[in-house]
Chain A
């Protein structure tokens, strides 16, 4: 009888240890153990509290002496465990708001100045005889906003102006992918494809073929008067996973809360952020105190916004977008892990968020589309990419 009692005590101890181990694993998986010093707000602390409560409740249920008197407590603990488990994904994403918050900015802008074959176009000119010239069956191109100047310049360089009938389109990344999958575009230009876009292609029975044609940096942008000059990859992950909410944690005591802007789901920039987060849930955008903070349609303008005498905003985009298409002298690029997003650092790889951008086709490219992509990969094509302000392969 005594042996049986000892056996059950050991069993309970093992079950408690298993619950504790599961809790530690969850906290480790979502980087709460390693980044515990970066937690500076209650919303960010909630997942940790949920895990601790769940482990505590399981332990209490295991060791509880069951009687009529303790029955309500047992039921409460069981309900608490179920509730915490159900709410844990919400806690990780911090999406407690009653209405969906959208503080995504800068998704569209006026890019008509880059249209090909226009007088005074901003699209760069090749400045030499093209090695490829297409005078019919021109591939229809589309893509990300920040890459429009590239494919517009490509069309201007190798398309016959008299045959051109608006084959260079700009919808935006999301619509461009939909159109490519539907077979309405021959080639689109984007920085990778999101998991959602890959899944949509797979569901439609389409194989997306991504051909790298150049390099670009994914940059983080803040107001010029923000004294924080750079962030580490860890700090960025902490901010966008909701652990860090205040500039004070990053060394700027007077900065208040970080207004961390996000971009629309499916956009190239949001896909870039998802790549940096590596599966870590991105915190839901927090409500903004004023509509003035989301009043403009350009991220580069948005990040320099002032609130109570400081510039507390943080955003992300691609380097070309920030320094060529929409430059703002009141905003600055932040260093990441001590490296500036300069052409040199992008080339030598010391800037950590360097990505390829791609010509994406619906399956293997055929005919003129193949010729166009082959030309882009040639020395002349790469020279044109360099001329636009991007970094050649």
Chain B
């Protein structure tokens, strides 16, 4: 089962998938919160929003440890992206909220 990333492991795709799923969960969480009827579900989605990026980072690191032979060049790029995206996102959010910019836009 050779995949088109040039390697065998699906771990990089899973790692990146966690990041994308985190964004999806955040939006679903907001949606559920404001529909009121689905309010209890929003908690689950918010939990997933926090947990999934950690999963993405761990999966990304594990994928990188498998080596280029197993995950291919594309796999390395995807793994690095899976690790960097949540880190950069958190840094940007902390700065935006600390300076009040995010509140001005979204509050």
Report how far A219 CA is from B38 CA in the complex, Å.
34
Interfacial chain B residues near A53, Cβ < 8 Å = 51, 54
The 4 closest A-B pairs by CB, nearest first: A49-B50, A72-B65, A289-B103, A97-B98
Encoded as 1 (CB less than 8 Å from any B CB) or 0, chain A from 85 to 117 comes to 000000000001111010000000000000000
Supposing A98-B94, A99-B98 touch, asked if A289 and B51 sit within 8 A by C-beta, the answer is no
Among the 9-residue stretches A40-48, A150-158, A183-191, the one with 4 or more Cβ atoms under 8 Å from chain B is A40-48
A20 lies within 8 A of chain B by Cβ: no
What would 11 A/B residue contacts be, using CB atoms closer than 8 Å?
A39-B46, A42-B46, A49-B50, A49-B51, A50-B50, A76-B57, A76-B62, A80-B54, A99-B98, A248-B34, A290-B100
Interfacial chain B residues near A308, Cβ < 8 Å = 107
B interface: dominant SS: helix
Interfacial chain A residues near B50, Cβ < 8 Å = 42, 45-46, 49-50
B104 lies within 8 A of chain A by Cβ: yes
B40 lies within 8 A of chain A by Cβ: yes
Chain A residues 12 to 41 lying within 8 A of chain B, measured CB to CB, are 36-37, 39-41
Chain B residues 44 to 86 lying within 8 A of chain A, measured CB to CB, are 46-47, 49-51, 54, 57-58, 61-62, 65
Report how far A293 CA is from B95 CA in the complex, Å.
20
Chain A residues within 8 Å of B, Cβ to Cβ = 36-37, 39-42, 45-46, 48-50, 52-53, 71-73, 76-77, 80, 96-99, 101, 246, 248, 253, 256-257, 286-290, 307-308
Chain B residues within 8 Å of A, Cβ to Cβ = 26, 29, 33-34, 36, 40, 42-43, 46-47, 49-51, 54, 57-58, 61-62, 65, 94-95, 97-100, 103-104, 107
Contact of A288 among B26, B43, B100 (CB under 8 A): B100
Q: Is the CB of B94 within 8 A of A96?
A: yes
Q: Is the CB of A73 within 8 A of B51?
A: no
Q: How far is the CB of B25 from chain A (nearest CB, A)?
A: 10
Q: Is the CB of B100 within 8 A of A48?
A: no
Interface centre among B26, B50, B51 (most CB of A within 10 A): B50
Since A42-B50, A101-B98 are in contact, a sample of 14 more A-B pairs with Cβ atoms closer than 8 Å, ordered by chain A residue number, is A41-B46, A45-B43, A45-B46, A45-B47, A48-B47, A49-B51, A52-B51, A53-B54, A77-B58, A98-B95, A256-B107, A257-B103, A289-B100, A289-B103
Report how far A287 CA is from B103 CA in the complex, Å.
8
Contact of A72 among B40, B46, B51, B62 (CB under 8 A): B62
Interfacial chain A residues near B36, Cβ < 8 Å = 248, 253
Report how far A106 CA is from B91 CA in the complex, Å.
32
Interfacial chain B residues near A248, Cβ < 8 Å = 33-34, 36
Interfacial chain A residues near B107, Cβ < 8 Å = 256-257, 289, 307-308
